[in-house]
Amino acid sequence: MRRIVVLGGGTAGTILVTKLRRRLDPAQWEIAVVDRDDIHRYQPGYLFLPFGRYRPADVARSRHAYIPDGVRLVLADVERVVPARHSVLLADGSSLDYDYLVVATGVQPRPDQTPGLLGDDWRRGIHEFYTYEGALALADALARFDSGRLVVHIVDMPIKCPVAPLEFAFLADAFLTDRGRRGRVELTYVTPLPDAFTQPVAAAHLSGMLDERGIGLETDFMVEQVRDRTLVSYDEREIPFDLVVTVPLNMGAEYVARSGLGDEMNYVPVDRHTLRSPTHPEIFAIGDATDLPTSKAGSVAHFSADVIVDNLLSAIDGRPLDASFDGHANCFVESGHGKGLLLDFNYDTQPLPGKYPVPRVGPFSLLAESRANHLGKLGFRWAYWNLLLRGRPMPVPARMSMAGKDREPADEPVTTGR
């Protein structure tokens, strides 16, 4: 019996093992997926928890409910991978041998990496919504926040779901407006980027949206420390706050470093098209765990899953790895007051205006606010639990298409989406 081990039972890992089980003979291949607990969380829903739009029950299900029959779910922490022995050592002292390994353990927020972030003010005046516990604590803080300076802050890039901090700023503006508090709150968006977003065309549009809402924009801000409710940058700029909603440094899993598989951020280097490790041909990586120069978003995990499955089957058969991932990412951007916009891009093409997924019809508008985009954002939760995780067909192409897009990008450099 040969074995494939997938480390991580989140979005990427669950989609992957579902597709692998359908295409590999269970009499010849054993598939195991490893995660620390039996709770699968819908992480896009964390954005809505602080505003009372979702309840805790809306963002959590059992992993067992989504891991297909014939796949072994191992509940354990990973200690390290030993590539020379094709073995995964678990924290309980047991081990799993593999013929092929896929790293799908995503990234984790690391507030401990920024001096002062985890001080006495943590989850009092300093909050985050990238964890379940953090999003719930922030809900209580927002309910009490009546006046002062609210700062939405990114420590460094890349981060998972790079539009989420912008979405939070837009939703906070709407939340405070609806409750009659907006006039008493100064709202500021602070980023290490030179603009509001990573892609120049989208950045110009999103910067305009911030300006329309009276949200200040502070760019090129590399935080050195947090002290006395003040963000302090390396160039000695200071931004005081009464409440800060920060996105801590995002890093890959610690076991990646212990295993010698990652870069300085614990991201696993892979070929940007095949998703295979350049140093360990039996190891692949998917989703946020990789060093791919595209967004760390659930859509990337979804669009790249078939590529990994095809390339794993090719590797097993000794054939060239012909399946190629183009860096496709798309994401709804909630903009408040029942509207949203949609971005669709890849390694080579920036977000463009147009209609998606059907040219001239949509129903979604690219790079433009609409009610349909807002409904698409909300409707994705149903699609996530009922279609995406179960490996069922989704009505969007895995490779980015230019169909429905209005024009070619302007003569501006294409950035990486990171």
- The mean pLDDT value for 151-161 works out to 97
State residue 202's pLDDT score.
87
- Residue 50 within any structural domain of the chain: yes
Residues 230 and 123 in one domain: yes
Q: List, in sequence order, every residue forming a beta bridge with 160; answer none if it has no partner.
A: 296
State residue 243's pLDDT score.
98
Residues 148 and 233 in one domain: yes
At 39, which CATH number? 3.50.50.60
Residues 140 and 243 in one domain: yes
Residues 187 and 294 in one domain: no
Range of the domain at 356: 331-418
- Neighbour count for residue 232 (Cβ, 10 Å): 18
Residues 84 and 115 in one domain: no
- The mean pLDDT value for 389-410 works out to 84
CA angle 204, 205, 208 (to 5 degrees): 90
Looking at the predicted structure, is the pLDDT value of residue 395 above 90?
A: no
State residue 408's pLDDT score.
55
- Residue 370 within any structural domain of the chain: yes
Residues 35 and 143 in one domain: no
Phi and psi dihedrals of 259, rounded to 5? -95, -5
State residue 394's pLDDT score.
87
pLDDT > 90 fraction of the chain, expressed in percent and rounded: 93
Residues 116 and 246 in one domain: yes
398 touches 306 (CB < 8 A): yes
Sign of the C-alpha dihedral computed for residues 137, 58, 364 and 179 taken in this order:
negative
Q: What is the mean pLDDT of the chain?
A: 95
Nearest CA to 248 out of 215, 219, 226 is that of 226
The per-residue pLDDT for range 273-300, each reduced to its tens digit, is 999 999 999 999 999 999 999 999 999 9
Residues 129 and 232 in one domain: yes
Q: Structure tokens of 395?
A: 């009505």
Largest Cα span, the chain: 66
pTM equals 0.95
Residues 276 and 380 in one domain: no
Q: Structure tokens of 234?
A: 């390396």
Residue 413: pLDDT band (50, 70, 90) is: very low
- Neighbour count for residue 265 (Cβ, 10 Å): 16
The per-residue pLDDT for range 195-245, each reduced to its tens digit, is 998 778 888 889 999 999 999 999 999 999 999 999 999 999 999 999 999
- Residue 382 within any structural domain of the chain: yes
- Residue 304 within any structural domain of the chain: yes
- d(C-alpha 188, C-alpha 197), whole Å: 15
Looking at the predicted structure, is the pLDDT value of residue 417 above 80?
A: no
Residues 343 and 407 in one domain: yes
Residue 409: pLDDT band (50, 70, 90) is: very low
Query: Domain boundary residue among 234, 250, 266?
Result: 250
State residue 418's pLDDT score.
46
Phi and psi dihedrals of 61, rounded to 5? -140, 170
Q: List, in sequence order, every residue forming a beta bridge with 185; answer none if it has no partner.
A: 148
The per-residue pLDDT for range 117-140, each reduced to its tens digit, is 998 999 999 999 999 999 999 999
How many domains does the chain contain in total? 3
The per-residue pLDDT for range 3-62, each reduced to its tens digit, is 999 999 999 999 999 999 999 999 999 999 999 999 999 999 999 999 999 999 999 999
The per-residue pLDDT for range 92-106, each reduced to its tens digit, is 999 999 999 999 999
- The mean pLDDT value for 314-339 works out to 97
CA angle 353, 161, 338 (to 5 degrees): 60
351 touches 345 (CB < 8 A): yes
Residue reference for tokens 């909300």: 378
State residue 416's pLDDT score.
37
Nearest CA to 77 out of 99, 93, 98 is that of 93
The per-residue pLDDT for range 229-242, each reduced to its tens digit, is 999 999 999 999 99
